[in-house]
């Protein structure tokens, strides 16, 4: 009931009642004259008081407690009267409280303030702030008056603040993130160890200084500007990145967060800074950004960056007028460099080409490696089409000198497709597509030259695209068929073989020329499906011919292979399986390749040819004499048949010089022990000339065009009379 009573005297020996006592000890009669009049007087004083009021006698026994005291301890005056006041105090504070009470009793008329913990009979602990007044000599009171205020909530609040302060201190001092405090003038009040480590200065060197001590000279003013913005109320908190110059001179990038601490009226008391060294993060970001926008091999802009620049160029020319141009450059026969010199040398060549193009790039333009061996050049702010032509020629001119490597030199050329546009065409979304269309024309018809896009080209490109799509379904629809052109032996013109040639009878277009759809198939993966169909059809037909005549007289069949087919790792197993399935002797199959296919990758070529030779399959070298490397690779390739291009046969009839050349080619074949086959025989004179030169084989319209399989079967075992063209002999 009594909140803050202390021992009534200074010695427990003199007043044993103040010593330890059981809670159930009998109440001692109070020496205080407690009369009804006295209690009434006390009730009048303490009834309406909001603070706790209690009175104890000189022996520390309860005499009175007002309603606040009664409520606090949960007892009535009658229940408490005569009990020891110490029973209502926290037992852990007993010694301190006894000393306090003894000091109060010792000096008459004195008042002493003390904070004490109380313990109610129900076990509730409260914190009180009390003033004990010694009125033992006052005849109206004759006791120790205790006036107390319940400050439990305040103590708890202070304890929470202290805990928060301790946690914040630990969080500040032990934080791995650099932190600091500055005053309203932005001078450092405190810094943690992480901050000192970041800037390289000690705490003593930093305190009282502003940020200019460790700020990069070019970034002085950034922190000051953020301070002004917060002080002026523009923002409540601010974040920025600036450069710090450490004590050792190292430059670092730091992300800084500033927040003000304010009093209840909103006045700024100090600033809290949390900082982060983002140097490595920024380097990584810059590296990733560079990788996202620049080609890893050449360092030029990549597709992402050029497309962004292209969008800006469109917008600029639309607003300001003028002329822009986009150049798509493709290296001619670059695959041959990779195949013959290796990919490492190919990469070196790409880098060399990039540096050459860079050397002629205007500062206002953008050069990009678009992918593979293609480069894009975006030129802005041109005056006329003459400027367009001049840039294209300058780019091609950069490749005129050979590229020198440790193992030799490489001559490299390129083809260019160009699309130019002004303000009226700025919304054209097909610039890249149009440049690609122009490049196709340059490579298809004008290799190593420049072609400017025209709308009519797009129609042709659309036609080609549609044709490729239809070609993909031609096999399923049964529109493709393998025709057979007979190959005859000279001089008797007996049929000894057939060349399988693909024909496409389109449901709506009618006959589509092989010269139109075969190149399209070769530029797509469709060539694999079509090639498989041709091989399957040819082997099946040749197998059926075995039964039409004696096995030794049964004709062989030639099948053309594209570069993709010939260099496919599955070619030889596929041929083995097909021959086995149709029970055709390997000697009855001849595979035709051009010299360009043969020399594209000599290592792979020789490996494939060796495997085919072991299998027993023959190889024919087509279009001999039209390439630049025929003689140098002829002995290495060692084909079974060399097919003499029809241009030599045709020209030999009108030019003695070309006649001599034809003779030299056939003689070369004889000396190498290779069977020579002349293509495109159309006249009796050509037949007679080739017979005179002892050319072994021939084919051409003089004998027969390519015919369906059923008609070819009728020619097996027969021959032709050269004097009565295309007449079968049985």
Q: Is the dihedral of CA 286, 289, 295, 300 positive or negative?
A: negative
| 65 and 201 together in one domain | no
pLDDT tens track for 660-675: 888 888 888 888 889 9
| 481 and 585 together in one domain | yes
Q: What angle do CA 319, 323, 328 make, to 5 degrees?
A: 120
pLDDT at 691: 92
| 337 and 232 together in one domain | no
CATH of the domain at 346: 3.30.70.270
Q: Are the beta carbons of 520 and 464 closer than 8 angstroms?
A: yes
Q: Are the beta carbons of 557 and 589 closer than 8 angstroms?
A: yes
Exposed / middle / buried, residue 94 (Cβ in 10 Å: 0-12, 13-18, 19+): middle
* Secondary structure of 654-713 as H, E, C letters: CCHHHHHHHHHHHHHHHHHCCEEEECCCCCHHHHHHHHHCCCCEECCCCCCCCECHHHHH
Partners of 111 in the β-ladder: 133
CATH of the domain at 266: 3.30.450.20
Partners of 452 in the β-ladder: 418
Q: Is 381 within a domain?
A: yes
| 501 and 642 together in one domain | yes
In angstroms, the Cα distances linking 144 to 50, 134, 343 are 19, 5, 105
CA dist., res. 158 & res. 37, Å (int):
43
How many domains does one find in the chain? 4
The DSSP annotation for 454-470 comes to -HHHHHHHHHHHHHHHH
In angstroms, the Cα distances linking 592 to 101, 144, 253, 546 are 121, 126, 66, 21
Q: Quick check: helix, strand or coil at residue 10?
A: coil
For 451-461, b/e burial (b = at least 16 CB within 10 A) is: bbbeeebeeeb
| 268 and 316 together in one domain | no
| 371 and 424 together in one domain | yes
CA dist., res. 128 & res. 93, Å (int):
13
pLDDT tens track for 437-449: 888 888 876 666 8
Q: Which of 253, 283, 313 is the last residue of a domain?
A: 283
CATH of the domain at 526: 3.20.20.450
Give the phi and the psi of residue 188 in degrees, each rounded to 5: -65, 125
Which residue segment(s) compose the domain that 141 sits in? 16-156
For 644-668, b/e burial (b = at least 16 CB within 10 A) is: bbbebbbebeeeeebbeebbebbeb
Q: How confident is the model at residue 188 (pLDDT cuts 50, 70, 90)?
A: very high
pLDDT at 244: 95
Q: How confident is the model at residue 283 (pLDDT cuts 50, 70, 90)?
A: confident
Q: What is the DSSP letter of 263?
A: -
Q: What is the DSSP letter of 721?
A: -
| 255 and 366 together in one domain | no
Q: Which of 256, 283, 310 is the last residue of a domain?
A: 283
Mean pLDDT of 330-350: 83
pLDDT tens track for 66-109: 888 888 898 988 888 889 888 889 999 888 888 888 888 888 88
Q: Is 728 within a domain?
A: no
CA dist., res. 504 & res. 519, Å (int):
14
| 712 and 566 together in one domain | yes
pLDDT tens track for 30-69: 555 555 666 666 666 555 667 898 999 888 899 888 888 8
CA dist., res. 518 & res. 504, Å (int):
10
Q: Is 161 within a domain?
A: no
Q: Is 3 within a domain?
A: no
pLDDT at 47: 59
Would you say residue 600 has pLDDT above 80?
no
pLDDT at 474: 84
Q: Are the beta carbons of 279 and 252 closer than 8 angstroms?
A: yes
CA 606 centroid distance within chain = 40
- Which of 205-209, 279-283, 285-289, 477-481 shows the highest mean pLDDT? 205-209
Q: Which of 261, 283, 305 is the last residue of a domain?
A: 283
- What's the mean per-residue pLDDT of the chain? 83
Q: Are the beta carbons of 367 and 358 closer than 8 angstroms?
A: yes
Partners of 191 in the β-ladder: 180
Q: Is 10 within a domain?
A: no
CA 24 centroid distance within chain = 81
Q: Is 251 within a domain?
A: yes
Q: How confident is the model at residue 725 (pLDDT cuts 50, 70, 90)?
A: very low
CA 675 centroid distance within chain = 57
Q: Is 132 within a domain?
A: yes
| 592 and 506 together in one domain | yes
Q: Are the beta carbons of 326 and 377 closer than 8 angstroms?
A: yes
CA dist., res. 565 & res. 575, Å (int):
11
| 193 and 64 together in one domain | no
The pTM assigned to this predicted structure is 0.51
Of residues 432, 250, 414, 204, the one with CA closest to residue 325: 432
Partners of 52 in the β-ladder: 148
The DSSP annotation for 272-287 comes to EEEEEE-HHHHHHHHH
CA dist., res. 83 & res. 70, Å (int):
14
| 277 and 298 together in one domain | no
Least confident interval from 76-90, 335-349, 398-412, 591-605: 591-605
Q: What is the DSSP letter of 15?
A: -
pLDDT at 601: 64
Q: Are the beta carbons of 327 and 377 closer than 8 angstroms?
A: yes
Q: Is 167 within a domain?
A: no
* Secondary structure of 605-622 as H, E, C letters: HHHHHHHHHHHCCEEEEE
* Torsion of Cα atoms, 263 then 269 then 274 then 275, to 10°: 150
Neighbouring C-beta atoms of residue 56, cutoff 10 Å: 30
| 237 and 186 together in one domain | yes
CA dist., res. 659 & res. 681, Å (int):
15
CA dist., res. 321 & res. 308, Å (int):
19
355: left (phi over 0), alpha (psi -120 to 50) or beta: alpha
pLDDT tens track for 125-134: 998 999 999 8
């Amino acid at each position: 009931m009594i909140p803050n009573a202390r021992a009534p005297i200074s010695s427990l020996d003199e007043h044993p009642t103040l010593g330890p006592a059981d809670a159930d000890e009998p109440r001692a009669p109070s020496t205080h004259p407690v009369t009804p009049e006295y209690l009434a007087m006390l009730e009048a004083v303490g009834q309406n008081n909001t603070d706790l009021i209690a009175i104890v006698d000189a022996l520390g026994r309860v005499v009175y407690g007002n309603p606040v005291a009664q409520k606090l301890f949960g007892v009535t005056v009658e229940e408490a009267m005569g009990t020891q006041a110490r029973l209502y105090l926290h037992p852990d504070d007993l010694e301190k409280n006894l000393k306090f009470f003894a000091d109060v009793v010792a000096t008459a008329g004195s008042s002493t303030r003390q904070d004490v913990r109380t313990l109610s009979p129900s076990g509730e602990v409260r914190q009180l702030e009390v003033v004990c007044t010694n009125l033992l000599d006052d005849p109206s009171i004759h006791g120790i008056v205790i006036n107390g205020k319940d400050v439990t909530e305040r103590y708890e609040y202070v304890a929470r603040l202290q805990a928060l302060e301790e946690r914040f201190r630990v969080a500040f001092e032990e934080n791995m993130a650099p932190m600091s405090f500055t005053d309203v003038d932005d001078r450092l009040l405190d810094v943690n160890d992480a901050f000192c480590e970041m800037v390289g200065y000690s705490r003593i060197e930093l305190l009282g200084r502003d940020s200019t001590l460790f700020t990069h000279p070019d970034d002085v003013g950034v922190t000051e500007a953020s301070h002004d913005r917060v002080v002026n109320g523009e923002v409540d908190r601010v974040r920025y990145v600036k450069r710090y110059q450490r004590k050792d001179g190292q430059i670092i990038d730091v992300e800084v967060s500033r927040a003000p601490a304010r009093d209840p009226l909103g006045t700024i008391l100090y600033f809290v800074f949390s900082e982060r060294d983002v140097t490595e993060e920024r380097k990584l970001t810059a590296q990733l950004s560079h990788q996202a926008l620049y080609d890893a091999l050449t360092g030029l802009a990549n597709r992402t960056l050029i497309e962004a620049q292209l969008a800006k160029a469109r917008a600029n020319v639309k607003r300001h007028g003028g002329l822009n141009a986009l150049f798509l450059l493709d290296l001619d026969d670059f695959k041959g460099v990779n195949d013959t010199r290796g990919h490492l040398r190919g990469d070196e060549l790409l880098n060399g080409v990039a540096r050459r193009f860079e050397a002629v790039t205007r500062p206002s333009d953008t050069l990009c490696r678009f992918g593979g061996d293609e480069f894009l050049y975006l030129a802005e702010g041109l005056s006329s089409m003459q400027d367009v032509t001049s840039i294209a020629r300058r780019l091609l001119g950069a490749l005129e000198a050979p590229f020198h490597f440790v193992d030799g030199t490489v001559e490299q050329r390129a083809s260019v497709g160009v699309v130019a546009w002004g303000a009226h065409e700025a919304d054209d979304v097909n610039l890249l597509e149009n440049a690609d269309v122009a490049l196709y024309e340059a490579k298809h018809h004008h290799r190593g030259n420049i072609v400017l896009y025209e709308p009519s080209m797009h129609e042709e490109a659309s036609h080609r695209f549609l044709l490729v799509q239809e070609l993909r379904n031609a096999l399923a629809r049964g529109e493709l068929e393998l025709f057979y052109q007979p190959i005859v032996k000279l001089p008797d013109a007996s049929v000894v073989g057939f060349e399988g040639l693909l024909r496409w009878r389109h449901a709506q277009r009618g006959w589509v020329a092989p010269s139109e759809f075969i190149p399209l198939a070769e530029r797509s993966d469709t060539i694999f499906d079509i090639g498989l169909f041709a091989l399957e059809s040819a082997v099946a037909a040749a197998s059926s011919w075995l039964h039409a005549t004696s096995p030794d007289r049964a004709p062989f069949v030639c099948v053309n292979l594209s570069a993709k087919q010939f260099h496919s790792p599955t070619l030889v197993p596929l041929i083995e399986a097909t021959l086995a399935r149709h029970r055709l002797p390997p000697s009855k199959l001849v595979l035709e390749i051009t010299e360009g296919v043969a020399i594209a990758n000599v290592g792979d070529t020789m490996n494939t040819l060796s495997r085919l030779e072991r299998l027993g399959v023959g190889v024919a070298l087509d279009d001999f004499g039209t390439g630049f490397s025929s003689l140098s690779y002829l002995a290495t390739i060692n084909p079974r048949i060399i097919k003499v291009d029809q241009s030599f046969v045709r020209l030999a009839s009108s030019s003695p010089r070309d006649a001599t050349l034809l003779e030299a080619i056939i003689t070369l074949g004889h000396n190498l022990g290779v069977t020579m086959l002349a293509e495109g025989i159309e006249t009796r004179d050509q037949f007679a000339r080739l017979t005179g030169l002892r050319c072994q084989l021939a084919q051409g319209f003089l004998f027969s065009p390519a015919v369906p399989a059923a008609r070819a079967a009728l020619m097996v075992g027969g021959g032709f009379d050269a004097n009565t063209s295309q007449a079968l002999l049985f």
